[in-house]
Amino acid sequence: MKDDFDYDDDLAFNDDEDEDEDDFGMTFEEDLYLMIREKLRDTIQEYKGEYPALKKLESAVSSFKVNVKNTDDAKFYPLAAKLLSEHIKPLTQDSEEIQEIYDNMQSDITRFKNQRAHGYEGELYLTA
């Protein structure tokens, strides 16, 4: 005899919610992209007095714009992170510090493909 309790139906608290969204309505991809931008901004603010080459990085990051229409978060934010990375890559030739920041940023970018990957937390790419 089958129980009247169907786990799939009775334990589905809210099927309308997107499983990839957190409590604030952000997808993992959006949250990760914003974290990458915040780490870049905080690192630049913290160290641009000590490393003048970071002023070029600050200019490059602040001028970066992405305009991709009709793309969902799962595709837009990884693309935006990749384009940001490509945008600042030429500056890595100017400074060891920018190269280090770029390399450290790549560990967070890999998290778009593997959410369980450990992002970089360190001096020249600050944690949020």
Q: Name the 3-class secondary structure at 105.
A: helix
Q: Is the pLDDT of residue 22 over 80?
A: no
How many Cβ atoms sit within 10 Å of the Cβ of residue 119?
18
Residue 69: pLDDT above 60? yes
**Which three-class secondary structure string do you get for 37-99?**
HHHHHHHHHHHCCCCCCHHHHHHHHHHCCCCCCCCCHHHHHHHHHHHHHHHHHHHHHCCHHHH
Given pLDDT bands bounded at 50, 70 and 90, which one contains residue 10? very low
Q: What is the DSSP letter of 29?
A: H
> 83-87, 101-105, 115-119: lowest mean pLDDT where?
115-119
pLDDT at position 59 is 96
Rounded distance, CA 112 to CA 50, Å?
A: 31
